[in-house]
């Protein structure tokens, strides 16, 4: 909690010294105001890192703030060295913003609204401080190296207040948004295969673009899965489901999507333009699964896949129609002896096929 409070306390102290620099003799009021300004931005960076679950970078923080303060002490109120000191302070503040933006981008990969807003804020203030550097000779303190003026102090305080308010709101919102996103992922995720569950599949089918194009859809069924469960127990059955997810992760590449839509039924969707490519992928999946499951249950389990494959033509068709084609192809694969891949007829103008409902296929399931 100390890191969360530090930027606000240091920023308040900085504003106070800039408003009333005569609190201390000579230039010490302005020097301390500049020091607290740099420390406030550095502390905000550390607070962000702590919020993201990272350790504070104290060495970089102390080094940047300390060097900036030493330069301000050595510099007078005018002259080239004073200009260099002020330019260095602005560059350090810009660097703190850039480092905070980098950490946010790397450590919080989930793109929530608050994350996007904070990234824009950090990029804006980093660019703003860099843009001040070429004009530091003419701008009044605390924006530059010229003598302080009321408008410059007012502008600085206004910018600080705006940034502090937006930064604080984002720091509060980001953890909640990240948590909500992860909870939503858990709701839509199958815990065994690691893929998405039936609820996610229905959402994808109905909402995520109803017309497909250049997509292949595989309906996958684990052959005789109920018999395997009965003979070897549900623990072995769970290991087979886990193996299915592992095989898909190993041989398929993003943006491939795996859905588990039933106890032993899966849907695999991936980008594809040719029938040969789709069939090669389906056969790799079937063979890799058979190899992977040989070690389960002490080698006593023989698990195979029946796969119905359908390819969406370039002009696009409804995803429900593509699903129906793959579903019928799966039915043929199971009726033809299982452990095989059957593809639906494919051309640029496919004829409609009869859809066998997913919710009731007991007539042709083992």
Residues of the chain with pLDDT under 50: 349-366
pLDDT at site 21: 78
* String of DSSP letters for 82-138: HHHHHHHHHHHHHHHHHHHHHHHHHH--S--HHHHHHHHHHHHHHHHHHHHGGGTTT
Three-state SS for 342?
A: strand
pLDDT at site 208: 56
User: Which pair of structure tokens corresponds to residue 241?
Assistant: 């489901």
Write the Ramachandran bin of 343: left for phi over 0, alpha for psi from -120 to 50, otherwise beta. beta
Q: How many residues does the chain have?
A: 366
Q: Are 353 and 325 in contact (CB under 8 A)?
A: yes
Q: Are 245 and 194 in contact (CB under 8 A)?
A: yes
pLDDT at site 280: 94
Q: Are 330 and 219 in contact (CB under 8 A)?
A: yes
pLDDT at site 210: 66
User: Which pair of structure tokens corresponds to residue 276?
Assistant: 């040969």
E strands within the chain? 211-212, 215-222, 257-260, 265-271, 305-311, 317-318, 341-343
Q: Are 155 and 143 in contact (CB under 8 A)?
A: yes
CA distances from 355 to 261, 327, 341 (A): 16, 7, 19
Three-state SS for 252?
A: coil
pLDDT at site 260: 94
Helix (H) or strand (E) holding 235, with range, is helix 234-251
HSE-up of residue 2 (Cα within 13 Å, Cβ side): 1
* String of DSSP letters for 178-225: HHHHHHHHHHTB-TTTSSB-HHHHHHHHHTS-SEE-SEEEEEEEETTH
pLDDT digits over 306-362, tens only? Answer: 999 999 877 778 888 899 999 999 999 999 999 999 999 865 544 444 444 443 443
pLDDT at site 100: 96
HSE-up of residue 320 (Cα within 13 Å, Cβ side): 9
Q: Are 257 and 272 in contact (CB under 8 A)?
A: no
């Amino acid at each position: 909690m100390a890191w969360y409070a530090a930027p606000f306390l240091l920023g308040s102290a900085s504003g106070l010294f800039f408003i009333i620099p005569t609190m201390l003799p000579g230039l010490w009021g302005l020097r301390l105001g500049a020091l607290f300004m740099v420390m406030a931005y550095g502390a905000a960076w550390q607070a962000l890192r702590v919020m993201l679950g990272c350790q504070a970078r104290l060495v970089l923080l102390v080094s940047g703030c300390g060097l900036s303060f030493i330069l301000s002490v050595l510099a007078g109120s005018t002259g080239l060295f004073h200009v260099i000191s002020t330019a260095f302070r602005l560059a350090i503040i810009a660097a703190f913003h850039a480092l905070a933006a980098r950490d946010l981008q790397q450590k919080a990969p989930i793109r929530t609204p608050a994350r996007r807003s904070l990234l824009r804020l950090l990029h804006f203030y980093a660019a703003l401080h860099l843009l001040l550097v070429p004009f530091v000779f003419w701008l009044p303190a605390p924006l530059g190296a010229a003598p302080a003026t009321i408008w410059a102090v007012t502008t600085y305080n206004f910018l600080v207040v705006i940034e502090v308010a937006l930064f604080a709101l984002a720091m509060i919102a980001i953890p909640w948004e990240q948590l909500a996103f992860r909870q939503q992922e858990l709701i839509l995720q199958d815990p065994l295969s690691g893929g998405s569950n039936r609820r996610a599949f229905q959402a994808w089918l109905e909402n995520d673009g109803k017309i497909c194009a250049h997509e292949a859809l595989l309906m996958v069924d684990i052959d005789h899965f109920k018999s395997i469960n009965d003979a070897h127990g549900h623990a072995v059955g769970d290991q087979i489901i886990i193996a299915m997810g592992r095989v898909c992760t190993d041989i398929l590449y993003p943006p491939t999507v795996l859905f588990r839509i039933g106890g032993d039924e899966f849907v695999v969707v991936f980008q594809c333009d040719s029938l040969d490519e789709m069939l090669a992928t389906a056969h790799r999946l079937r063979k890799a699964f058979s190899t992977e499951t040989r070690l389960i249950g002490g080698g006593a389990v023989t698990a195979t896949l029946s796969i119905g494959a359908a390819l969406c033509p370039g002009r696009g068709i409804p995803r429900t129609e593509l699903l129906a084609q793959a579903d019928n192809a799966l039915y043929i694969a199971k009726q033809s002896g299982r452990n095989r891949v059957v593809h639906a007829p494919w051309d640029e103008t496919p004829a409609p096929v009869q859809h066998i409902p997913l919710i009731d296929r007991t007539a042709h399931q083992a």
